[in-house]
C-alpha cells in the first residue's frame, strides 16, 4: 500500500515538472551554416574559453549566420558550442550579446548575462 501511495504522489510531480523543461526560444528560427578552419580563420577557438563572433554570411560557401549572428565558443569540457548573438529578451537582430573572458555573454541593453562555458547558454 505504501508503494502505491508513493507512486501516486510522485508521478504527478514528474509529469507536472516536465513542463518546466520544455522551452521554446523567442528568437525567430533562421538557417545556420558556418565553416571555419581553426588554424587560419578561427585561431581564437584553439584555447578553452576562446570565442569568435560571426555576423556576416560568406557567400562563397553559402553561409547562414542565424538571426543576429553566431557566437562560437570553446567550452570548458573541450567541446565547441554555437549560440545566436541575439538576446532573447530584446528580440532585435541589431542588439547582439557581447562575449567576455569569463565564459559569459552580456546583453548591452538589458544587462542579461548568459553562461557559455558548459554550452547551456543559461541566464
With a cut of 60, say whether residue 40 has pLDDT above it. yes
Whether 56 is covered by a domain: the verdict is yes
Cβ contacts of residue 68 below 8 Å, gap of 6+? Answer: 27, 55, 84, 85, 86, 92, 93, 94, 95, 96
Whether 110 is covered by a domain: the verdict is yes
As a whole number of Å, the end-to-end CA separation of the chain is: 43
Whether 2 is covered by a domain: the verdict is no
13, containing H or E segment: helix 2-18
Whether 120 is covered by a domain: the verdict is no
Whether 15 is covered by a domain: the verdict is no
Nearest to 57 by CA among 49, 46, 68: 68
Whether 77 is covered by a domain: the verdict is yes
Q: How confident is the model at residue 5 (pLDDT cuts 50, 70, 90)?
A: very low
Total domains, the chain: 1
55 is in which domain, residue-wise? 28-115
Q: How confident is the model at residue 23 (pLDDT cuts 50, 70, 90)?
A: low
**What pTM does this model have?**
0.77
Cα–Cα distance measured from residue 45 to residue 42, given in angstroms and rounded to the nearest whole number: 6
Cα–Cα distance measured from residue 68 to residue 83, given in angstroms and rounded to the nearest whole number: 10
Over residues 27-56, the mean pLDDT reads 93
Q: Average pLDDT, whole number, for the chain?
A: 84
Whether 82 is covered by a domain: the verdict is yes
Over residues 42-64, the mean pLDDT reads 92
**More confident of the two residues 23 and 9:** 23
Amino acid at each position: 500500500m505504501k508503494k502505491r501511495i508513493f507512486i501516486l504522489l510522485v508521478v504527478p510531480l514528474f509529469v507536472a515538472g516536465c513542463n518546466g523543461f520544455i522551452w521554446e526560444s523567442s528568437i525567430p528560427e533562421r538557417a545556420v551554416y558556418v565553416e571555419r578552419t581553426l588554424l587560419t580563420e578561427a585561431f581564437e577557438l584553439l584555447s578553452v574559453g576562446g570565442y569568435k563572433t560571426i555576423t556576416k554570411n560568406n557567400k562563397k560557401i553559402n553561409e547562414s549566420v542565424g538571426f543576429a549572428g553566431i557566437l562560437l565558443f570553446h567550452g570548458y569540457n573541450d567541446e565547441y558550442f554555437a549560440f545566436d548573438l541575439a538576446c532573447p529578451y530584446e528580440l532585435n537582430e541589431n542588439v547582439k550579446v557581447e562575449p567576455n573572458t569569463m565564459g559569459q555573454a552580456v546583453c548591452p541593453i538589458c544587462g542579461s548575462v548568459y553562461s557559455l562555458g558548459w554550452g547551456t547558454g543559461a541566464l
